[in-house]
Amino acid sequence: MGNFQKLSLALVGLIIGGSVVACDDGRSKADNAAKELASAISALDVGSIAFDGKDAAAANDQLKEVFKALEPAKPAVAAGDMKLEGDTATVPLNYSWKIGSGEWKYSVSTQLKKSGDTWRATWNPAMLVPELAEGEILSKAAESPQRADILGAGGAQLVAYRPVVNVGIDKPQVGGGDIAAAATKLAQLVGVDEAAYVKQVEASGAEAFVTAITLRDDGNRTVSDEQIAAIPGARSIRDSLPLAPTRTFARAVLGSVAQASAEQIEKSGGVLSAGDVTGNGGLEQQYDAQLRGTDKVVIRAQKAGLTTAEIKAAPQDPRRTVFEVPAKPGVPVKTTLDPKLQQWAEDVLGKVGPASAIVALRPSSGAVLAAASGPGSNGYNTAMLGQYAPGSTFKIVDSLALIRNGMTPDSKVECTPTLTVDGRTFKNAEGYPAGSLGSVTLRDAFAHSCNTAFISTRDAVSQAQLESAATSLGVAVEAPALGAAAFLGSVPGEAEGTEHAASMIGQGKVLLSPLAAAVMAGSVAKGAPVSPVLVLAPDAGAPAATAPTATAVPTMDATSPAQGSDASPSATALAPAKTSDKPVTAAEAAALADMMRAVVTSGHAGFLASVPGAPVGAKTGTAEFGKENPPKTHAWIVAVHGDLAVAVFVEDGGLGATTSGPLLKEFLTQAG
């Protein structure tokens, strides 16, 4: 390259470079300053921003005060297209907030001024919120819609707003009296912890009404208004709360509603705040978002320090609304529970001491009509979550496996007094009739529940075939339409020796819940696997449930009243299969139904023959558990009665026929 060419290129570069410098009017630095400002506001921290006319620390304090009511929300702020005129730049700041279920978007304009080589934002409260004046802040108010009901079969109100009275001390009404003495007397009257309530009253504000207890106002109150009014400062304030018909009605299934605790508020991520009501346990918690709906939220601009008294005294509201999210009412949760059957089941279990349950469902549809856990369950959902060895009720599964391997109800099996497998001796239940020993039909062995007869067939039925037969009857498979947490049964696919022999009589590692046992019986009545349904699909647009679904298998723990017979308290049940790979057929179910009917006509459930209506088919079960000698036993019975399948369970209940059987008869007779 010659010298002339080099000089020409140098001149071109100089010209181009000169033109770039000449065109650089400061826009890039102004753009950067605007972006830094937007980023700092997004973080709600402008302490590092240089402002024109405002100290950065003071600006930061003012910003935090303006937005304090919106915590913990933060805005997303982006700088828009800049307009540059000499040493002044005008830039839009585009805000986006997540407020409740809504999105608050707005745009404000701010100016930047060039000072030397630096661009500084001009401080103005209106750069935070449109038309915000000096000395103004934002306030936030939320108003919850009425919580939706939980409905039962036919739209019956299971949980609905019912009248209550909040009983407490109204501190201004105590006057100059002894507040601690009044709180003590009220605590004694209503039966709450005296020391804790006195401490609560003393710690509250001078104008506070401090609730001691909330009582149903249904005419059955044990504490009258007159007794309350006799205590200085004590009052009863009428209100309404979402409640079931009685305190105990299906409580383990439905759950309850109460004011959100501090822990619940913290875990909600801003969804709940002090004073909100929320579900505790059961369907109320699982479907809380659907039932609660979304709050109406109002954001207002107002003078800092404005008091409630000033607002009330003003001829018109001194605040102005800058954003509002309308409330969305909750959507009812529709269930299949029949109020009469549920109450009957609870009444029948009312006199049972140990943990107990009655589950009733409609085989044709899978609808769960009752899922009652007795008082001995202490609030645990034994009906749906219990994990227990099913005992001889599992012979329904054994029989299906045997039928699939060529046997019929008339095939002969050997029923002996005892049978030893690998050194372990199995025997029949106490009082087994001697006349039913020997070579008997499978039907008779089933009707009288001969353990040794079924164990003697163990070589003809593999453990994998037992598992397959169980899933064929709807046991140990997922229930995607149930809509609630439940244990669906667990049947191992592999077992040898004594463990396989124990499986033949529903022990070992075989576990069912009362719900799963009812499904098993119901599948016989239907002639196809029953998939249980408790919660009907919500209306379109209803929020989805966030709690565990029926595909979850809870783990047994030492604190649960639901302990399996030979299972370790820390053992985890097997995960259920997705679906059965070989559903029970109508012909197979007919053979099983024939055998279940024989339990009533010739077996030891003859007491069910007098139940009015359709003929009853049944199977009893007694499952040993623990290490005592003689061992304790769970008492089971399952039955089909027309389009009704029922399972009755009593933990530590003795024999199925003598303990659970009468409970079943009482329930079926009432059910009609």
Per-residue pLDDT, averaged over 283-311, amounts to 93
* Predicted confidence (pLDDT) per residue in 441-492, tens digit: 999 999 999 999 889 888 889 999 999 999 999 999 999 999 999 999 999 9
Q: In the predicted model, what is the mean pLDDT of residues 370-388?
A: 97
| 413 and 373, same domain (yes or no) | yes
Is 132's pLDDT higher than 50?
A: yes
Residue type, 224: S
Judge whether 11 lies within some domain: no
The pTM (predicted TM-score) of the whole model is: 0.81
Give the mean model confidence (pLDDT) for residues 389-409.
95
- The arithmetic mean of pLDDT across residues 563-579, rounded, is 53
pLDDT number for residue 7: 42
CB contact set of 496 (below 8 Å; sequence gap of 6+): 463
So what's the pLDDT on residue 1?
52
pLDDT at residue 562 is higher than 70: no
Amino acid occupying residue 299: I
Q: Are residues 194 and 250 in the same domain?
A: yes
Domain-located, residue 154: yes
The DSSP letter of residue 248 is: S
Residue 141 maps to a domain? no
**How far apart (Å, rounded) are the C-alpha atoms in residues 294 and 276?**
11
pLDDT for 13 equals: 43
- Look at residue 6 and tell me if it is in a domain: no
322 and 294 inside one domain: yes
Considering the domain architecture, whether residues 325 and 350 belong to the same structural domain is answered as: no
Domain harbouring 201, CATH code: 3.90.1310
Q: Say yes or no: 194 and 308 in one domain.
A: yes
Report if residue 549 sits inside a domain.
Answer: no
- Confidence band for 265, pLDDT divided at 50, 70 and 90: confident
Q: Give the other-Cβ count within 10 Å of 230's Cβ.
A: 11
pLDDT at 220 over 90: no
Same domain membership, residue 301 and residue 167? yes
Give the C-alpha separation, 479 to 209, whole Å. Answer: 47
The CATH number given to whatever domain includes residue 127 is 3.10.450.100
Picking from 478, 479, 475, 505, the residue whose alpha carbon sits closest to that of residue 491 is 475
Reference 551, options 634, 495, 489, 620; nearest CA is: 489
Do 78 and 210 reside in the same domain of the chain? no
Q: Are residues 171 and 88 in the same domain?
A: no
Q: What is the CATH number of the domain that holds 468?
A: 3.40.710.10
Q: Is residue 86 part of a domain?
A: yes
Whether residue 72 is found in the same domain as residue 107: yes
Element (H, E) at 398: helix 395-404
Q: Which domain holds residue 114?
A: 24-134
Q: Are residues 265 and 371 in the same domain?
A: no
Total of domains in the chain: 3
Asked if 254 and 282 count as a contact pair (C-beta separation under 8 A), the reply is yes
Mean pLDDT computed over 288-299:
92
Tens-place pLDDT, residues 404-440 = 999 999 999 999 988 888 878 888 877 778 778 889 9
Compare 368 and 497 and report the one with higher pLDDT.
Answer: 368
- The answer to whether residue 585 sits within a structural domain is yes
Decide which of 99 and 549 is more confident.
99
Domain boundary among the residues 100, 134, 168 is at 134
Q: How confident is the model at residue 2 (pLDDT cuts 50, 70, 90)?
A: low
pLDDT over 90 at 303, yes or no? yes
494 HSE (CA, 13 A, CB side): 0
Instruction: Judge whether 521 and 668 are in contact, CB under 8 Å.
Output: no
Mean of per-residue pLDDT scores for the chain: 88
pLDDT band at 11 (very low <50, low <70, confident <90, very high): very low
pLDDT tens sequence across 18-47: 333 334 557 899 999 999 999 999 999 999
Q: Domain ends where: 283, 301, 332?
A: 332
Check residue 10 and give its pLDDT: 43
- For 325, phi and psi rounded to 5 degrees? -110, 120
Helix (H) or strand (E) segment spanning residue 497: helix 497-503
CA distance 137 to 132: 8
Q: What pLDDT is recorded for position 539? A: 60
Residues 231 and 247 in one domain: yes
Residues 661 and 637: their CA atoms lie apart, in Å, by 6
Q: Are 190 and 68 contained in the same domain? A: no
Residues 6+ apart with CB under 8 A from 403: 588, 591, 592
Amino acid, res. 292: R
- Residue 237: per-residue pLDDT: 94
- Which of 104, 134, 164 is a domain's end point? 134
Would the pLDDT of 565 be above 80?
Answer: no
- Does any domain span residue 72? yes
